[in-house]
Structure 1
Amino acid sequence: MQLNMAKRMQMTPVMTNASRIPATARRDRLIQMIGQRRYINVSDAAVELQVSEMTIRRDLDRLAESGLISRDHGGATARAPETAFDAEEPAFEVRGRRQADAKEKIARAAARFVQPGQTIGIDTGSTTHRFARELLDRPGLRLFCSNLRTAGLLAGGKSPVYALGGLIRPHEFSVCGPMASSQLSGLWLDAVFLGVSGITAQGIFDYTLEDAEIKRAFMERSRQVVVLCDSSKFDHRSLVQVGPYGQIHVLVTDAALPEHLAEPLDRAGVQVVVAGQEAPAFSEP
């Protein structure tokens, strides 16, 4: 009789405070664990939360059905963030009005990388156009532009301006094509400041093949590659991937990057500058 009672006691699960946690609170804790560790397995989660593996499996299945995590046989991972695809390039005037305050902050922060006497490349884009305004009163620079609108702006400044020659894209006034690329192949720049349509964990993007070709040519001929990107472009991709993060040196933005973007930038050794924080110093790549 005593032996049977002892066996029954061994088979009865011990109820703990953790096992009495409401299911919603337990699932919130699982989401937190996955966010911190990127992956959890069922057995470790069961031990940590002091519940059965079956309970953890049910919780993970429910969270996966809700789209909050990604499930596999042995555990779960953080769900990949949604990436927006921008199929069409908005007009320059429209882009210029979007995130205007953020772009102004980015432009001021980026301009602090420019040192006296340098040769600077300025890519096409609404943010780089705003950046160009910061250089109007800077003497002693040599400025190479791939956008006629930006070159015209800088022509009223204190430094000589060189506009690339080639095919002009209507309305955008960017210069592209083999002629423009060949001109860049004979130059060596201290730094280039690039605009992008968006960034993802894979790298930087642009709307058109033509402009992306010039961006790559600029990157190949520049000692320092500085990308200007406001936070509305995080997790946005478009037609062309210009390059991976290993090909750039600095990203200037207006807000802290989410972890899934910060990690690949950090691995690539990219310096991230958030406008309004500590002033950057121009450094050797």
Structure 2
Amino acid sequence: MLAKERQDEIFSIIKQKKAIKMSDVVKKYQVSHETARRDLEVLQEQGLIKRVYGGAVLSEQVPSMAGMAEPPCIVDASSSVEREAIGREAAKLVKEGDTVLLSVGSTVLQIAKHIRDIKHITVLTNSIFVLNELIDSDVRMFVLGGCVNSSEYDMEGHLTVEALKHFCVDIAFICAGGITKENGVSDYNCEVAQVNKAILSRARKTVLVAHAKKFGTDSFSVTCPLDSIHTIISDSTLSQGYVRCLQEKGIELILADVGQV
């Protein structure tokens, strides 16, 4: 059966039953989980379905759950190219056998999409989006518990911070709501800022991923000073003022070429 024929049949089933499980696609068509995932991704790109944990649902069924496909910040397409470029570049830092912590944020989700095929890695996360992205891959996953934030689709709060104390990872990736020379890294969500602050103590290397528009703006809750971060990955439009600032602080800076996406 051609991929297009299989995808058409899958969509017919979803139209009839309003949903389908990934395991049912694998069993019915005798395909790998990777093939099933790609079929659902194609249908989602066509706007016909929404991928959710363990499968997919008919897109008309979830108008109030548009965020399940992508976080609210990803809906802002003005920086989608930058996020994709940064996520691709950040994924290059992950090596076979690494333990990786992926925090919340749209750019971190892009990293998850690019590390699916790296062998023998373990991912720790408090993001439901990251979990949903990697659940059908061969990545070994651990999920941090805590209070579920239904608007951010993550786990947060003191239980999440406590859970972090049980782990140490090779590399951690965090996002930011804003970054300034004076106040460092900040986030609009206090709980996210607190969890990210705790993450700093659990990783051998901490990487901040943020597109250039985040620099020069303070968000509500301070996460950490700039010199608490080992590496920052931004895009090639970052101002020379901030490039010099980060270099003077001895922070490794990687600029993703947005023209390569």
TM over 0.5: yes
Q: 1:154 aligns with which of 134, 147, 153?
A: 134
3-state SS of the aligned residue for 2:200? helix
Q: 1:118 aligns with which of 98, 111, 114?
A: 98
3-state SS of the aligned residue for 1:236? coil
Tell me the matched-pair count: 187
CA contact (8 A) 2:95 2:118 kept: no
TM-score under structure 1 length normalisation: 0.62
Match of residue 75 from structure 2: 97
- Which sections of structure 1, spanning at least 5 residues, go unmatched? 1-90, 278-285
Matches within 5 A, 1:11-160: 93-98=71-76, 99-160=79-140
Q: How far off is 1:94 after superposition?
A: 3.5
C-alpha distance in 2, partners of 1:97/1:130? 13
Q: 2:242 aligns with which of 261, 266, 269?
A: 261
Q: How far off is 1:256 after superposition?
A: 4.6
- Which sections of structure 2, spanning at least 5 residues, go unmatched? 1-66
CA spacing shift, 1:157–1:96, aligned 2, 3 Å: same
1:182-215: CA deviation from partner (whole Å, max 9, x where unpaired): 1111211101011111211131111111111110
CA contact (8 A) 2:189 2:220 kept: yes
TM-score under structure 2 length normalisation: 0.68
Larger radius of gyration: 1
Match of residue 206 from structure 1: 187
1:6-45: CA deviation from partner (whole Å, max 9, x where unpaired): xxxxxxxxxxxxxxxxxxxxxxxxxxxxxxxxxxxxxxxx
The residue identity in structure 1 corresponding to 2:221 is: V
Identity %: 24
Match of residue 72 from structure 1: none
CA contact (8 A) 2:208 2:231 kept: yes
The residue identity in structure 2 corresponding to 1:221 is: R
C-alpha distance in 2, partners of 1:184/1:118? 17
CA contact (8 A) 1:174 1:211 kept: no
The residue identity in structure 2 corresponding to 1:237 is: D
Match of residue 202 from structure 2: 221
C-alpha distance in 2, partners of 1:255/1:166? 36
C-alpha distance in 2, partners of 1:267/1:188? 29
Match of residue 239 from structure 1: 220
1:41-64: CA deviation from partner (whole Å, max 9, x where unpaired): xxxxxxxxxxxxxxxxxxxxxxxx
Q: Please list every run of at least 4 consecutive aligned residues from structure 1 whose deviation after the TM superposition is greater than 3 angstroms.
A: 91-94
3-state SS of the aligned residue for 1:165? coil
The residue identity in structure 1 corresponding to 2:252 is: Q
3-state SS of the aligned residue for 2:109? helix
The residue identity in structure 1 corresponding to 2:205 is: Q
